[in-house]
Amino acid sequence: MREERWPLERDVLFRPDRLKYVRRVIKDEACVFCKTREMGVALESLCLYQSSHSMIILNKFPYNSGHVLVLPQRHVGEMLDLSMEEYTDLHVTLRKAVEAVTKVYSPGGLNLGMNLGAVAGAGIPAHLHYHVVPRWAGDLNFFPLVAETKTVIENLETSFERLLTYLKPALARENERTS
C-alpha cells in the first residue's frame, strides 16, 4: 500500500515540482491527525466535525468523558503559521466544540488548552491542537486511590454518538455552505 502512494524517484528527478508532493506524502504518512482528516467524519476516525479549515475529533485517550480535540485541517505546528482565515475558522470551531461538550455533558467547568511544541508537552507537536476537557467536581483526582469516587469514563462509541448527534445539524449546514 505504502509503495503505491510513494512517488517514483524518477518523477522527482525530472520534475522538481514533485518534491512538494513527496514532502506532503511523508507528513501525511506520519501524522495521525492528517490521516483522520482524510478519513472524514466517522466512528473509525473519531472525527466528529469538519469545517472548511478545521475539525473536531474525539480524543482516543480521554482524560474525561467528552474530551475532544480541535485542530486545523492543515498540518501546521506553529500557530503563527496559520493564515488569518484558518485561525478564525479554528476558533469558530473551538466555540462549536465547547458548545457541544457543554450541552451534551453539562460539566461543572472546562479546561481549554494547547501545548505548542514538544517542550511544552505536546504529544503531536507537528500538528497543533486544542484540548477541550469537561470537568466535574472531584474528577481527575491526583490521588485516585485515596479518593472516594473514581472517574468513570464512558466508552468512545457512546461519546462519539452523543456528540455527533449534537453536531450533526451544524455539520450539515457546513457541508451545504461549502459544497
Name the one range near Zn ion by CB under 5 A: 27-35, 65-73, 102-110, 149-157. 27-35
Name the one range near Zn ion by CB under 5 A: 4-12, 59-67, 122-130, 131-139. 122-130
Name the one range near Zn ion by CB under 5 A: 78-86, 119-127, 130-138, 162-170. 119-127
Q: Which residue is nearest to Zn ion (CB)?
A: 31
C-alpha cell at 35: 490521516
Q: Does 34 bind Zn ion (CB under 5 A)?
A: yes
DSSP code string of 76-138: -S-GGGS-HHHHHHHHHHHHHHHHHHHHHH--SEEEEEE--SGGGT-SSTTS--EEEEEE-TT
H-helix or E-strand spanning residue 23: helix 18-30
Of 35 and 91, nearer to Zn ion (C-beta) is: 35
Of 25 and 153, nearer to Zn ion (C-beta) is: 25
Active site (annotated) includes residue 131: no
Torsion angle defined by CA atoms of residues 160, 162, 167 and 169, in that order, rounded to the nearest 10 degrees:
120
Q: Does 31 bind Zn ion (CB under 5 A)?
A: yes
Owner of C-alpha cell 457546513? 174
Q: Does 68 bind Zn ion (CB under 5 A)?
A: no
Q: Does 53 bind Zn ion (CB under 5 A)?
A: no
Q: Which residues pair with 131 in a beta bridge?
A: 69, 113
Q: Does 96 bind Zn ion (CB under 5 A)?
A: no
Does residue 48 contact residue 163 with C-beta atoms inside 8 Å? Answer: yes
Q: Least distance to Zn ion from the beta carbon of 80, Å?
A: 17
**Active site positions, annotated:** 129
